[in-house]
Amino acid sequence: LAKTTQPISMDSYEGQEVNITCSHNNIATNDYITWYQQFPSQGPRFIIQGYKTKVTNEVASLFIPADRKSSTLSLPRVSLSDTAVYYCLVGDYSSASKIIFGSGTRLSIRP
Amino acid sequence: DAGVIQSPRHEVTEMGQEVTLRCKPISGHDYLFWYRQTMMRGLELLIYFNNNVPIDDSGMPEDRFSAKMPNASFSTLKIQPSEPRDSAVYFCASSLSGQDQETQYFGPGTRLLVL
């Protein structure tokens, strides 16, 4: 079971780049790394997914080192609306019991 | 499309009662997922369906939990009998494919409180 470890909380300011790192030492070969964003009273929302190296989309970048034992979500130029909980998920949907999101990182953005 | 629709949004019941949560996935999505979120255990995948067929229910906590998907536009998660430790937010999600989580959309959740 791929357990993930993230910081409980982070603070930053508008316009800054925020990097959130997730550790997953026992990631399996078939596991993908996915990051989700969740606002209060809402379901999680997909941000980005990767397997190795670097992935970039219109909202974030995901950096994965060669050993895949960690990953870093990078949010460029954050705004107040990026205040949310961010979850790192490592697993594959071939077995539902492997899918556990963990406690997430509570990101607070200040003006 | 209105997105994934869940009902009820809130449910309060007494221990021992049967609870039924409902979900309408996004039209055209072949996969449907049921998750449970608690402070203690975070967000866990309970079961998922592909084309209305349960594929993996290994995340279901115990026999008191059951899920069905009678057709492509409707699924239920039933707890019978309910217990206080079942109190949680239950999310339903749907996606075009299984592993491609980019297309997985979550519903607003059902907040269940078992007294």
Q: For residue range B17-29, what is the model confidence (pLDDT) as tens digits?
A: 999 999 999 999 9
Condensed to tens digits (0 to 9), the pLDDT of residues A5-20 reads 999 999 999 999 999 9
Give the mean model confidence (pLDDT) for residues B62-73.
95
Whether the predicted pLDDT of B96 surpasses 90: no
Residue A1, pLDDT score: 53
Structure tokens belonging to residue A61: 């970048």
Residues of chain B with C-beta less than 8 angstroms from the C-beta of A45: 106
Band (pLDDT 50/70/90 cuts) for residue A90 is: confident
Residue A79, pLDDT score: 96
User: What is the C-alpha R_g of chain A?
Assistant: 13
Q: Do B45 and A96 touch (CB under 8 A)?
A: yes
Residues of chain A with C-beta less than 8 angstroms from the C-beta of B41: 100
Structure tokens belonging to residue B79: 């707890």
Instruction: Produce one character per residue of B43-66: b if its CB has 16 or more CB atoms within 10 Å, e if not.
Output: bbbbbbbbeeebbbbebbeeeebe
Residues B106, B50: Cα–Cα separation, whole Å: 16
Q: If you measure CA to CA, which chain A residue comes closest to B10?
A: A41
